Amino acid sequence: MRFLIIIPAHNEEQNLSFTLDSLQQQSSRDFKVVVVNDGSTDKTPEVIRKYTETDSRFETINLQKSEHQPGSKVVHAFKNGLQTQSLDEFDIICKFDADIILPEDYLEVVANAFINNPKFGLVGGLLYVEKEESWVYEGNSNKHHVRGPMKAYRKECFIQIGGLRETLGWDNIDSILLEHLGWKEIVLPELHVKLIKVKGADYTIRPADYYGRYFYFLGLSRFLAYIASSKEAMKSKSPSFFFDIIKAYEACKSQKLELKITKEEQKAVNDQRWRMLKKKWLKM
């Protein structure tokens, strides 16, 4: 199976070489990498050139710096890279971050998973971060969800879900839609992917605004958004956090901000959330 790997990169001169080196060292060699330089002002373009000038599997495109919004920025860059390629030439579409280190057998194991399981639509490993000179499981998400930095989609699944959405919550929307269409999202725990830096460090958006906007762009109904907000408030042990999240959600709703999912897809998202609510909270 042939991989198309798109890597959005903005000011990643310190990290990108680790990612690209780990790709060159893969046991599976059948891939193409497109690094999207998203308006970098550091030496990221120079790092990219070291690979594109010596390895024909590596290409690059340059963009003007896109608006720094959680979710939409990285997907915008990804889509620009994707548009330069013919999907007919590939079997697996990957969105990787520019600050990860893959184990040498990552692509080989992922390809075998797709080959042996026709219903697998999205496959990935687990993220590990460096802590006290050792690599430990990141733990920011459940172990059944493929995190945004290392998504690998079967091409047919990727096309059926309509690709990635330029919105906050894109890396949960994809999971919900592919499940709705009968595909499976699979995490392979034996694949440890090292994340060089902690995500979210560059975002200036307040946590409450982030969650409020996230619940809105995910397409949650008001009731489910309020339930999700109460859950986050309980985690932080702050009642005021609930009201701040709701304020942000309602602000988006009153402005009628455009959703990047259809009405049918919105229903699929809410149905999935209802199932989770019944299973975890109501024990149904």
pLDDT, tens digit, 9 for 90 and up, residues 33-60? 999 999 999 999 999 999 999 999 999 9
Residues 92 and 155: beta-carbon distance below 8 Å: yes
142 and 251 within one domain: no
Query: Residues 132-154: what's their mean pLDDT?
Result: 89
Over residues 129-144, the mean pLDDT reads 85
* 186: number of Cβ within 10 Å: 18
Residue 276 forms part of a structural domain = yes
pLDDT in tens, 237-283: 999 999 999 999 999 999 999 999 999 999 999 999 999 888 776 65
Range of the domain at 244: 207-282
Residue 201 lies in a domain: no
Instruction: Write down the pTM of the prediction.
Output: 0.91
Q: How far apart are CA 167 and CA 260, in angstroms?
A: 7
For residues 161 and 277, membership in a common domain is answered with no
Q: Which two tokens stand for residue 256?
A: 């009628």
The reply to whether 167 and 86 lie within a common domain is yes
8 touches 77 (CB < 8 A)? yes
How confident is the model over 130-142, as a mean pLDDT? 83
Q: 215 versus 236: which is more confidently predicted? A: 215
pLDDT score recorded for residue 284 = 47
Of the candidates 195, 230, 250, which is a domain's last residue? Answer: 195
Say if residue 211 is in the same domain as residue 188: no
Q: Establish if 190 belongs to a structural domain.
A: yes
Do 186 and 218 lie in one domain? The reply is: no
Which of 151, 171, 195 marks a domain boundary? Answer: 195
Region of residue 205 (left: phi > 0; alpha: psi -120 to 50; beta: else): beta
> Between 206 and 46, whose confidence is greater?
46
Q: Is residue 202 part of a domain?
A: no
- Mean pLDDT, range 127-140, rounded to an integer: 88
Q: Helix (H, G, I), strand (E, B), or coil: what is residue 163?
A: coil
Q: Give yes or no: residues 77 and 174 share one domain.
A: yes
Give me the pLDDT at residue 140, please.
67
Residue-wise DSSP of 66-117? PP--TTHHHHHHHHHHHTTS-GGG-SEEEEE-TTEE--TTHHHHHHHHHHH-
In a domain, 200, yes or no: no
Query: Do 21 and 123 lie in a common domain?
Result: yes
Whether 97 is covered by a domain: the verdict is yes
Q: Are 22 and 142 part of one and the same domain?
A: yes
- Whether 32 has a pLDDT exceeding 90, the answer reads yes
In a domain, 255, yes or no: yes
The predicted-structure confidence for 216-245, as pLDDT tens digits, reads as follows 999 999 999 999 999 999 998 999 999 999
Same-domain check for residues 163 and 235: no
Give how many domains the chain has, as a whole number: 2
Q: Would residue 60 count as lying in a domain?
A: yes
Give yes or no for residue 31 having a pLDDT over 80.
yes
141 and 249 in one domain? Answer: no
Do residues 190 and 211 share a domain?
Answer: no
Q: Which of 195, 228, 259 is the last residue of a domain?
A: 195
Regarding whether 263 and 219 lie in a shared domain, the answer is yes
Q: Give pLDDT, residue 197.
A: 78
Residue 202 predicted with pLDDT over 60: no
pLDDT average, residue stretch 64-76: 77
